[in-house]
Structure 1
Amino acid sequence: MRPSIEPSPVRAGDALDPDPIIRFDNVSKSWGSNQVLKSLNFDVRPGEKVSIIGPSGSGKTTILRILMTLETPTEGTVTVDGDVLWSVADGEKARETRQLRQTRRKIGMVFQQFNLFPHMTSLENVMEAPVHVLRMDRKEARDRAADLLNLVGLGKHMSHTPPQLSGGQQQRMAIARALAMRPKVMLFDEPTSALDPELIGEVLNVIRNLAHSTDMTMLMVTHEMRFAEEISDRVVMFDHGRAVESGPPERIFKNPLEDRTRTFLRAVLQH
């Protein structure tokens, strides 16, 4: 039986609550004796914007890394858009399959570090994966890359390489690169944590515009509490590998039900 986590609200115009696009069923992850996720049951609905908050080491980033197939769960099942990404019986090692790779293509991720090709221009960085992974025609990939760089405010920097750009510009390029793969789900792993304070706003503005102007599913691990409150349909509080509390941002931030959530928010919001 799945432990109760408050479901996300039905979006305006939906006749029925849709099937989740992301589903974790009894997912655990351990490194030796350190259990990072503990029988996690967690769903995200299509088009939903979900922020994951909680202390360092609570398992937040591990969720994203499992979805990106950068980590293998120890046990449990993960499905994305109706397709199995991971299915691991206790003690059985998961294997990479063609289906896993195809399902993985539905997901884009923006990391804390930018992971750009330093010798390539902005345009080439954004074109690279569509051409070599999606086998997209180079002209189509170039046109799409130019559109996306304009979208993130880098239209005047298409010929610049990453070392010629600020950290905020590099992270915006990384967002454009992830969008170029036409993902159904976008993951953000503390996308402003490596930035100087004066550059954080420009990256948050891009994410804010995506959240408000697209129906893309977005899952974000963040320490930017006010930003999470502003853009999220739902906020999930994690602690010690478990979802402690889940609900609309106005309730989580103003009237949390769990003591652990209240303690965490008092600590982070007083700074």
Structure 2
Amino acid sequence: MTSNRDRQRAAARARLEREMADRAERSASRRRRNTTIAATAGGLVVLLGVAWLVVVMTKGDDKTEPSAASSASAAPTSCTWLPLVDPSASPAPEIPKEVKDVGTPPTSGEPRTGSQTMTMDTSVGTIKIKVDTANAPCAAASFTYLASKKFFDGSKCHRLVTQSIYVLQCGDPSGTSLGGPTYRYAEENLPTGRRPAYTEGMVAIAKTQNPASSGSQFFIVYKDIESLSADYTVLGRVTEGLDLVKKVAEAGTVPDPAASGDPAAAASGDGAPKTEVKINSLTMSAAS
């Protein structure tokens, strides 16, 4: 017969194996999270059940700059704003409280040449971004419209990633990573063929894993990213204040309470920035 000591050792060994398996799964989960920007907004699509957003749409314009080649062969002539909730669904799904309804931008008449200046007055200083209106006209039109509605004012940059992906993510009024406007639109101005696709100073639009799921959330790249695929619309590039973003990154992230007891998870480098970045106001200039 097996002695009590043998049974105790076997039980202890089994517990250790379970703990190792659990830790390996948490580590794998962190790796998956750190290799996509989509994770931050993915909960919104799950919450709304909008699988119908997988729509075949023409993306992008013919590019005049090699910095962001388009994946499309023809340029669209207008912007299509897709509702988050399928109007034909019965009963219609409720829009989550994290979503902020300020209406929808015009469907035509947006500038398609030149550039705009996006100015963010934040709690850490002024950040200015040269928006590529010529190559990302719909993204520029969306941000211009949302800024006119003071959509971003008073919001916080809710996510900082300091390992594998080097971004400060903003644009969610709820600060939960689930928020955005009541519409989505197609990706454009993708940096296809570039390695790395996203380089220091770039500003791009966060999205889910579905196409045509760009919204209001955007990320500022403060260091070249080798591991991110060219799936996110390049809105423009920081011209002033990138040093401020780097200082925020140096301060690190707030420890995730869910990672308590797991040193590896606590050191994952993905969470709310320790230095709060509040957007006091966000404005867009006219195209020129």
Who wins on radius of gyration, i.e. which is larger? 2
More helix by share: 1
TM-score by length of 2: 0.24
More strand by share: 1
